[in-house]
Amino acid sequence: MPPADAIVLRDATADDAAAISALVIASTRRWIAPDCTDDGIAMLVDSMVPARIEERLREGHRHVVAEQVAPHHGTRIVGVAVLRLPSHLYHLFVADDMQRRGIARRLWQAVRYHAAPDAPVTVNASLHAVEAYRRLGFEAAGPARFERGLRFVPMTRAPR
């Protein structure tokens, strides 16, 4: 059994879709929405509902969750990383109260080795997350962009 308040990484399942959805939608509304249009956020949130997460799981996207195991309180998903094969980091989210603990780095490390070994990994970073991605070894691949109501910075990380 993991130690008290341990963070355990594991592959996500369809049973996790609702919890993943709640986490990514809450984070999106807090950190991404202020830089985007209402229509852009509506489109983004629609892509984060449980049914869409289950669909991506069936399609073979690599999903890893960080689960907090707390005695007497059960478990809760506090982070998620999703890699769309062959090499696009689709999601990397950590619950607000669990940030700055190395969870994003652990999630990134858990999915990165599933990326195509000879291709750079790409991500469309929210303006708020650019520095976090830099700390993970990503570099801006161009200036900030505004497309379909969403503002982001395209970033890449060299192949492993």
In this prediction, residue 5 has a pLDDT band, given cuts at 50, 70 and 90, of low
- What are the phi and psi torsion angles at 105 (to 5°)? -60, -45
Helix axes 50-59, 17-27, angle to 10 degrees: 120
* pLDDT score of 135: 96
The secondary structure of the chain, three-state, reads CCCCCEEEEEECCHHHHHHHHHHHHHHHHHHHHHHCCHHHHHHHHHCCCHHHHHHHHHHCCEEEEEEEEECCCEEEEEEEEEEECCCEEEEEEECHHHCCCCHHHHHHHHHHCCCCCCCCEEEEECHHHHHHHHHCCCEECCCCEEECCEEEEEEEECCC
Statement: residue 155 has pLDDT above 60? yes
pLDDT in tens, 6-57: 999 999 999 999 999 999 999 999 999 999 999 999 999 999 999 999 999 9
Statement: residue 74 has pLDDT above 90? no
Q: Where are the domains of the chain?
A: 6-116
The mean pLDDT value for 107-133 works out to 94
- Tell me whether residue 66 is exposed, middle or buried, using C-beta atoms within 10 angstroms of its C-beta: 0 to 12, 13 to 18, 19 or more: buried
Q: CA-CA distances (angstroms) from residue 41 to 47, 48, 92, 143? A: 10, 11, 17, 21
* pLDDT score of 160: 72
* pLDDT score of 72: 73
In this prediction, residue 4 has a pLDDT band, given cuts at 50, 70 and 90, of low
Q: What fold, for 6-116?
A: Aminopeptidase (3.40.630)
Mean model confidence pLDDT for the chain: 93
- What are the phi and psi torsion angles at 137 (to 5°)? 100, 5
In this prediction, residue 140 has a pLDDT band, given cuts at 50, 70 and 90, of very high
Statement: residue 2 has pLDDT above 90? no
pTM check: above 0.85: yes
Question: How far is 88 from 29, CA to CA, in rounded Å?
Answer: 22
